[in-house]
Amino acid sequence: MTRAHAYIACLFVVIFYSGNILVGSALNELPPITVAFFRVAIAAAVLVPLGWRSAWSNRSAFRRHIGPLLLLTLTGVTFFNTFIYGALQFTSATNVSVLEAIIPVATALLSAWLLRERLRLVQWAGVLVSFLGALWVVMGGVVDHALGGWNVGDLIMVGAIMSWALYSIAVKRYLHLFPEYGTLLVMTSLSVAVLAPLVALEWAIVGVPELGQWAYWPGLAYLGIFPSIVALLLYNRAVSVLGASQAAVFLNFLPVVTMIGAFLFLSEAVTAAQVGGAGLVIAGVILTTRPARNKQ
């Protein structure tokens, strides 16, 4: 994959993850762990014919590197989306997408610390501009609302931010140890095992949802295929070409795409602060993804 192809892959990742937020918001009548559980269960079922041979033939690699495998699974597959669906119970799809834009800041800091990746000054400036744009949206364009503008859903998103930042680092460091489709099958299957007792506990507390309603299943199928499989494959390949920091910065486009989708499909209002923050986010992405000049 070339750098140009990696950038295109990142754009499709943004589109699919924007759909993850929009569909997750549309399904917020279902409890969050229930949505996360059926997402990974559907993904695992779809991946069986694609990945079972690879998973079986590489079973010794999975056993040998069980620690990195669990880190990849828990951060990128199991809990990242569980946090998102939990946040959508309390806050808007636009806010969730804006807060995801903070992920590159956490990823860049962790990459510099753990992977010794060096960001140029212009890239740090891009990360800062994107972060300020995201913060401006959460604050509603009013500086003294920095704390008052946050709600429970916004705070839950902190867990999602840290989960994906750690996943991005783990992808760069450990994913080469495992086969592609077989690893996705193993990670989704492990996530099913982890979430099964949690969803049983959720049902014991809030009651068993009415899963017989046909309206839920197209959305759950989308979550299980596009964000869970297609987007993850594209993102993993993009990270291997661009590095964790630059690939993660593309997530800053999420507020823009999600804002449009939320306005069109969820009837969410779009404010001037959101539009202004989205402009800053785009500017930050452009700065951060500028290629370095070759020195002769």
Q: Is residue 37 part of a domain?
A: yes
What pLDDT shows up at residue 196? 96
Q: Is residue 293 part of a domain?
A: no
Q: Is residue 83 part of a domain?
A: yes
What pLDDT shows up at residue 279? 81
What pLDDT shows up at residue 296? 41
What pLDDT shows up at residue 131? 77
Domain limits at 8?
3-288
pTM: 0.83
Q: Is residue 153 part of a domain?
A: yes
Q: Is residue 295 part of a domain?
A: no
- How many domains does the chain contain in total? 1
What pLDDT shows up at residue 171? 83
Q: Mean pLDDT, 10 residues at a time, over the chain (296 residues)?
A: 87 91 92 96 94 92 94 93 94 82 75 74 80 73 52 86 88 84 93 96 93 88 93 83 74 81 85 78 72 52
Map the chain to HEC letters. Answer: CCHHHHHHHHHHHHHHHHHHHHHHHHCCCCCHHHHHHHHHHHHHHHHHHHHHHHHHHCHHHHHHCHHHHHHHHHHHHHHHHHHHHHHCCCCCHHHHHHHHCCHHHHHHHHHHHHHCCCCCHHHHHHHHHHHHHHHHHHCCCCHHHCCCCCCHHHHHHHHHHHHHHHHHHHHHHHHHHCCHHHHHHHHHHHHHHHHHHHHHHHHHHHCCCCCCCCCHHHHHHHHHHHHHHHHHHHHHHHHHHHCHHHHHHHHHHHHHHHHHHHHHHCCCCCCHHHHHHHHHHHHHHHHHCCCCCCCC
